[in-house]
Amino acid sequence: MDRRLVEIRDRIRFRKPADYLAVLPDNCPELFTNRELADLMSLPIRTAGQLTYCLRGAGALWLKGRRGREYLFSRTL
């Protein structure tokens, strides 16, 4: 199966870290793991991990520590 852009459905401009947080669900807790985010957003855990990786790179999330074997994240704002 090919992986190529077929359609652009919407455009969103991100100007500051707070803009990136709009992709997180409203009921996202203060501290959360990739697994919890995946459950909240009905995503595969791998996709949730990619999302937190991008949000950390954009300065929208902080790595706060660990809960067991999983990383804990929090919003920067």
pLDDT tens by residue, the chain, 77 residues: 678 888 998 888 888 888 888 889 999 999 999 999 999 999 999 999 999 999 999 999 999 999 999 999 999 87
Q: Where are the domains of the chain?
A: 29-75
What local confidence, expressed as pLDDT, does residue 11 receive?
87
What local confidence, expressed as pLDDT, does residue 18 receive?
84
What local confidence, expressed as pLDDT, does residue 64 receive?
95
- DSSP assignments along 14-50, one per residue: --SHHHHGGGS-TT--SSB-HHHHHHHHT--HHHHHH
Contact 63/75 with Cβ under 8 angstroms? no
Q: Is the dihedral of CA 34, 35, 41, 43 positive or negative?
A: positive
